[in-house]
Structure 1
Amino acid sequence: MDPRLQLAIENDDVAELHGLIVAERNLLDRLSKEPFPNTLLHIAAATGKTHVAMEMAILKPWFARRLNPDGRDGFTPLHYVASEEGDSERELLAEFLSACGSSIEDLTSRCETAVHIAVQNYNPRAFKVLFGWLRRHRLTKILNWKDEDGNNVLHIAASKNQLEIIRLLIGHTNVNARNFDKKTALEIFEANSPYDPNVAKRLRRRGCFARPFTPTLSLSEFFSKGLTAGEKCAYFFGVQDESARDIILLVSTLIATATYQAALSPPGGYWQDSTNSTVVATDSNSTAMEKPHRAGNMILNGTSLYVFTVFNGTAFFFSIGTIWAIAIAEFPKTFMVYLSMSILGLAYFISHLIEFPNSDEVAKRMLEGFYGSLLTAALFLPVVVWGMHVRVLKRIDATGRGVRIFLGTKDRK
């Protein structure tokens, strides 16, 4: 290593580091070309040079995921910092997470996350940083990931009688989950003497409301099973070609807009007055019969009314159904799209109830049943399908980390 660079690290001098980078633009890349490089981030983190380490985490976030020659057991800089106490290490941990959040998924050879490491090393301050970051990014499911012994973070905290961490984890982890010794966190906690009865009471109470324990699946068992309901929907409705998906969504949106507008402004318009009796209107050409009607009902009636309503309504529901089908392949990330389509369908349904002539009561009831069935399916089917899918995924032991691709997160590169 260049003596000037070594001196900059020893002095924790960020200004000098940037001066060297300006002088040699590819300095950081040159020093990290080896398969297992000892990057500046590794060196700075190991020697406690917080400012240089933070700067490296910002300039080269991927350094946080690289293993150096001493990175035995799969330890990354994030694992190392999570094991160390002190204000500087805590700030560095926060910087790592901000610069390279995906490193939270990195595992040691024992299937341990940085959260496992923090708890095992009795480091509640580092745990609070990790816990807060996971909550803000809605990644608390990582707290249920298990190590090679089947222990999640709550199991470890219970075995080490770390009351402060246990209190934080209650409500964010499955307290009924069992490790490979078939023990829950409560059973582990009660086996340790002495233990806090108040914490045990909270664990016991939470266990009554948590989902009951079900037999787990290994990753190989999961792949050997048939597709879940959610995967079948994603496979059937998913459009892999992005340009084709954009065209389908655009055309479906235009059709939904046009048909909804047609429902609000039907041919012939609406009656402006109300009458309960049959009125005969005669002119020089013909005699027309006006059935009893109410102000706001569609003037259109008879065969024309049925043809317009059926075809316009079918086109509308097929268009929002197409949008819904593409959205469900990415459920629950597209929940707001699903909800918006359901509300739009409900508004269309209600408008027909208001506008349809009272004189055509039988046809009105038939259309109510038809549209009501479509709307009910649109509201509840995605929730039921996704619920069945998630119930299977939750049975998978988190030691098989590849399953995260089914939970909506991208695989590591």
Structure 2
Amino acid sequence: MARGLPEKEEREARESRLQLAIEHDDIDLLHNLIVEDKELLDRLSRDPFRNTPLHIAAAEGKFEVAMEMFILRPEFAHKLNPEGYSPMHLALQHKQYSIVRALMTLDPELIRVRGRCGITPLHYIAGEAKDNEVELLAEFLCTCKSSIEDLTCRCETAVHIAVKNHNLEAFDVLLGWLSRVHLKKILSWEDKDGNTVLHVAASGEPQHEMIKSLARQRDVNVNVKNFDKKTALEIYQVHPRKKQDVVDELQQKGHRERFGERLYKVFFIPNLDLSLSKFFTVRLTFLERSAIYFYIEDKSTREVILVVSTLMATATYQAALSPPGGYWQDSSSNPLTNSTEIAHEKPHQAGKMILSGSHLYLFTSLNSMTFLISMCIILAASVPLFPGTSLVCCSMFVLAATYFSSLTTGFQNYNDVGKKLIVGVFTVAMGLVFGLSVWIWLRRARVQRKINASMRRIGDF
């Protein structure tokens, strides 16, 4: 018994020196203690609920020791202390954002650690983020996309938390990010009482701007009822501080703007020099909203569409090379053999299409339209994977040029007005499609660089 007492006192002395190392952010002292007692950190990790050295360093903003402790014992970052908080939770609570960003970079899954009441760091920052802190919320979302799926013990998402805490800045960032990554279905998720985000916004102290923003979303169903059999409109209408324009928004599912205002907002191109959080709050452009309608989440469905589009392009290209009736094999310039006898063949040139007149125009128009649509679908699937699919896009451009060249040379009359109109229209359309694809990719690349710069990790967003 007497022999064990000095050992216990020695361990306590080392733990006191460990606290001193954390307090002075001294990595050398930390490693000296580990050399003296190789089981020092092992003893601290046996207790399932305790304030580990990483908890203490994160809360006090001791960056060097916190990072060294994470390297030595990564499991400390996932442990909860007796109050139910992880080191990242504590760093957020004490506004030690440099440590938060470092932990997030070293292990993105720390954003998903469930603490007290199932609250993750994403939930916490969604409820507390103000002013510059919303930038950290945007970085969380970009670093760990799947963290948006996490629920609290009340089955609430981060959007529920932002609305419940009347945090309009965080709500705008969340809504903009969900729109751009095609995850607005999360707005329809229900908490333990069956309340969607819209129900929460209409309850208690109503959030008028949030309600109007949610009502305008295509994926938000304003007729959904909670477990009390009430819609968001029914909850909002009985509130003494309701606003009639918000009621109208819920009833009409989006108000009609004047043409000029709508035109400006539809084609408004956001400034990519904005911060990441500000970028997410900018209204979606026409192209971004169009992409939502064409976005297909199921991989098998996308593959089927791509295969069918490829077959369409092949069939229409082959039809342009081998039109109905084929091509003349020889040339003939005399329609009459004598003054009374009609020739069996009309004037023609070798290598020109036998089909002529309205039938030729109809065939060329429909075939070119089908070819153009198939090209658009293939490019739409290729542009997001650029520059890896750059060769595919170049091949499509060469294929389109060859297609329209064959149309140009196939008409009998070089000055045929119908030929010039058809070829001109579809050539311009194809040029616009390729030009638009390049422009979309350049914009996406700039956004990608902005997002990846905040993520500081290798991989696609």
**Bin of the TM-score, shorter chain as denominator length:** 0.5 to 0.7
Q: Structure 2: which amino acid aligns with 1:9?
A: A
Q: Which sections of structure 2, spanning at least 5 residues, go unmatched?
A: 1-14, 23-53, 257-295, 356-362, 386-391, 414-461
What is the CA–CA distance in structure 1 between the aligned matches of 2:208 and 2:351, rounded to whole Å? 67
Q: Is the 8 A contact 2:326 2:354 kept in 1?
A: yes
Number of aligned residue pairs: give it.
288
Q: Equivalent residue for 2:210?
A: 165
Q: Equivalent residue for 2:335?
A: 277
Which structure has the larger Rg?
Answer: 2
What is the CA–CA distance in structure 2 between the aligned matches of 1:39 and 1:296, rounded to whole Å? 81
Q: Is the 8 A contact 2:188 2:221 kept in 1?
A: no
* 2:222 counterpart (176, 187, 192): 176
Match status 1:108 vs 2:108: no
What is the CA–CA distance in structure 1 between the aligned matches of 2:350 and 2:298, rounded to whole Å? 44
Q: Is the 8 A contact 1:171 1:206 kept in 2?
A: yes
Q: Equivalent residue for 1:285?
A: none
Task: Name the SS for the 2:241 alignment partner.
Answer: coil
Q: Is the 8 A contact 2:129 2:137 kept in 1?
A: no
Q: Equivalent residue for 2:322?
A: 263
* 1:63 counterpart (110, 118, 123): 110
Q: Which sections of structure 1, spanning at least 5 residues, go unmatched?
A: 210-229, 240-244, 281-288, 302-308, 359-413
What is the CA–CA distance in structure 1 between the aligned matches of 2:297 and 2:144, rounded to whole Å? 30
Q: Structure 1: which amino acid aligns with 2:73?
A: L
Give the C-alpha shift of residue 355 in structure 1: 5.1
CA 157–6 in structure 1, closer or farther in 2 if over 3 Å, else same: closer
Alignment of 1:8-407 (within 5 A): 8-18=57-67, 20=68, 25-29=71-75, 31-32=77-78, 39-68=86-115, 70=116, 72=117, 74-87=118-131, 89-159=133-203, 160-172=205-217, 174-180=220-226, 181-206=228-253, 259=318, 262-263=321-322, 277=335, 291-293=345-347, 298=352
What is the CA–CA distance in structure 2 between the aligned matches of 1:118 and 1:231, rounded to whole Å? 27
1:168-188 residue CA offsets vs partner (Å, 9 max, x unmatched):
223115353222334332222
Worse overlay, 135-144 or 115-124:
135-144
1:1-24 residue CA offsets vs partner (Å, 9 max, x unmatched):
963245642442435544x26xx7
CA 276–75 in structure 1, closer or farther in 2 if over 3 Å, else same: farther
Q: Is the 8 A contact 2:78 2:86 kept in 1?
A: yes
What is the CA–CA distance in structure 1 between the aligned matches of 2:299 and 2:404, rounded to whole Å? 26
What is the CA–CA distance in structure 2 between the aligned matches of 1:232 and 1:31, rounded to whole Å? 35
Give the C-alpha shift of residue 356 in structure 1: 8.8
Give the C-alpha shift of residue 148 in structure 1: 3.1
Q: Is the 8 A contact 1:268 1:299 kept in 2?
A: yes
Q: Equivalent residue for 1:227?
A: none
Q: CA RMSD in A?
A: 5.5
What is the CA–CA distance in structure 2 between the aligned matches of 1:126 and 1:132, rounded to whole Å? 10
Alignment identity in percent?
Answer: 35
Give the C-alpha shift of residue 112 in structure 1: 1.6
Q: Structure 2: which amino acid aligns with 1:12?
A: G
Q: Is the 8 A contact 1:119 1:153 kept in 2?
A: yes
Give the C-alpha shift of residue 290 in structure 1: 6.5
Q: Structure 1: which amino acid aligns with 2:155?
A: C
What is the CA–CA distance in structure 2 between the aligned matches of 1:109 and 1:63, rounded to whole Å? 18
CA 300–32 in structure 1, closer or farther in 2 if over 3 Å, else same: same
Structure with the bigger RCO (C-alpha within 8 Å, sep 6+) is 1
What is the CA–CA distance in structure 1 between the aligned matches of 2:404 and 2:79, rounded to whole Å? 63
CA 233–51 in structure 1, closer or farther in 2 if over 3 Å, else same: closer
